[in-house]
Amino acid sequence: MTERAGYVAAALLASSGLVHLALLLASGGSWEGPLSLRKPVTFGLSFGLTLATIVWVSGFLKLTARARSVLLGAFMAASVLETFLVSLQTWRGVPSHFNVETAFDATVTRGLAGGGVALVAMVVWMTIAALRANPAVPPSIRLAVRTGFVALCGAMAVGGVMIARGMTLVAGGDAAAAYRTGGLLKPIHAVTMHGVLVLPLFAWLLTFTDWSEARRVKVVAAAASIYLLLILSVAAATLSGSR
């Protein structure tokens, strides 16, 4: 039941992103800036895809049925909350992040931060579960899932750094700098975010080949290595460009 609800919620979040994308294109609005419809587009599509991924990939983890149900329910609620609050603020014509201009805006900012903390806690929980051996899952898929979750932990860490940097600037009275530089690490955040889908999906597709499991493990390990190199390349380019 929770699994089905998770997929439905993921579809609704992705649909929200697509609707906002259509509105953005139809209005000719800007893709840049804290008030752009880009934010509900990216949040809707990203959280929709991530939620669907977590629902699917959690089936490979060594979790009890109750633990998985609680985990998916909480992840779904946090994903919906984050997307809703970002969309709400965009339609109100005010920034969603780093905004403490009014009591309501500050409450929204705290809500987004709280949802982010909850998501980090759940991702760490799932990563620990992924690192535990699950004999029911082929080694190649286990390797892909573990690599994907470790990368997702990296994405959570980068997101935390962006928020902390922005809020520090806001607290220092330079909100403009927060909006201008708060997203400098977005490329790193993006490339580490969806490895938890791409690698397990690749490993799962390999199970339909006539290759031995040992060969599949080697191929998945090679793919994971390429993905790691991609992360390092994006990180190097992003950090050098921010200087």
pLDDT band at residue 188, thresholds of 50, 70 and 90? Answer: confident
Distance CA 2, CA 125 (A): 18
Kindly state whether residues 60 and 154 are assigned to the same domain. Answer: no
Kindly state whether residues 146 and 166 are assigned to the same domain. Answer: yes
Kindly state whether residues 150 and 190 are assigned to the same domain. Answer: yes
Which pLDDT score, from 0 to 100, does residue 183 have?
63
Which pLDDT score, from 0 to 100, does residue 70 have?
93
pTM: 0.87
Tens digit of each residue's pLDDT (9 = 90 or more) over 54-70? 999 999 998 899 999 99
Tens digit of each residue's pLDDT (9 = 90 or more) over 202-239? 999 999 999 999 999 999 999 999 999 999 999 888 87
Residue ending a domain, choose from 121, 136, 151 = 136
Residue ending a domain, choose from 84, 109, 136 = 136
Kindly state whether residues 182 and 75 are assigned to the same domain. Answer: no
Kindly state whether residues 98 and 79 are assigned to the same domain. Answer: yes
Distance CA 173, CA 159 (A): 21
Kindly state whether residues 10 and 129 are assigned to the same domain. Answer: yes
Kindly state whether residues 20 and 126 are assigned to the same domain. Answer: yes
pLDDT band at residue 181, thresholds of 50, 70 and 90? Answer: low
Residue ending a domain, choose from 120, 136, 152 = 136
End-to-end CA distance of the chain: 49
Kindly state whether residues 69 and 180 are assigned to the same domain. Answer: no
Cα separation values, 3 from 8, 29, 75, 115, 146, Å: 9, 36, 11, 20, 21
pLDDT band at residue 35, thresholds of 50, 70 and 90? Answer: confident
Domain count, the chain: 2
The domain of 31 spans 1-136
Tens digit of each residue's pLDDT (9 = 90 or more) over 97-107? 777 789 998 89
Tens digit of each residue's pLDDT (9 = 90 or more) over 153-175? 998 888 877 777 777 766 666 66
